Amino acid sequence: MTTETLNNHRIDFKMSPRDLINIGIFGAIYIVTIGIFNALEFIGPAMTLVSSWASIIAAGVPFMLFLTRVKHPGMVTVFAVIVNGFMLLIGSPPVTLVIGLVAAAVAEAVLYAGRYRSRKLSVIAYAVFSTWFAGLFFPMYYARQDFLTSPYMKGMGDDYVRQLDTLLSPTVLAAFDVSTLLFGLIGGALGLRLMNKHFRKAGLV
């Protein structure tokens, strides 16, 4: 195997200042996008899951545009640290960060498999990345009472919490976890369709 071949197969994690700027810009746009749609949860407990689904679909646009700038491993993971780190700061459970990092690592592997040039795998990568939303309610499986009495939930009011407790049964939670992947596919496909011109310029096929 020649030196040139070895270099072509080497995984390069080094990021340029432009890479970091792109991560920061699109991370901020992604956070704002999900923030706008997550505000729907204040309408009532029934909108809690709907707000997450809407966020996943809408955020597919900035994320897919971000992927036109991703050329090597590590960028999606840093993106996940920014997004989930922010979510942690505003009251999301710590497990959200853990699930987000795992989802980002798998998304990185999917993108690498397509050498960062596959549109189909880019959509799948976004769907996998979007499973971090499952972490928002994951403590309901193992620390339900602690989750429902957290400062964030207390701020929603007693009636809201009681209705949410009734709504989010283990079956509903499991269905929601699976649905994050489905809505991620929808959001990725939507982003791909709207950003088709940018994908062509980036050379993704």
Task: Compute mean pLDDT per 10 residues along the chain, 205 residues long, and list them.
Answer: 43 82 95 93 89 96 93 93 95 94 97 91 97 95 91 88 93 96 96 79 61
What is the predicted pLDDT for the residue at 205?
Answer: 53
Q: What is the C-alpha separation between 131 and 9, in angstroms, rounded?
A: 29
Which structure tokens are listed for 160? 């809201």
Cβ-based neighbour number of residue 50 at 10 Å: 14
Cβ-based neighbour number of residue 104 at 10 Å: 25
Give me the residue label for tokens 């701020």. 155
What is the predicted pLDDT for the residue at 152?
Answer: 84
What is the predicted pLDDT for the residue at 36?
Answer: 94
What is the predicted pLDDT for the residue at 4?
Answer: 41
The string of pLDDT tens digits covering residues 76-132 is: 999 999 999 999 998 899 999 999 999 999 999 999 999 988 999 999 999 999 999
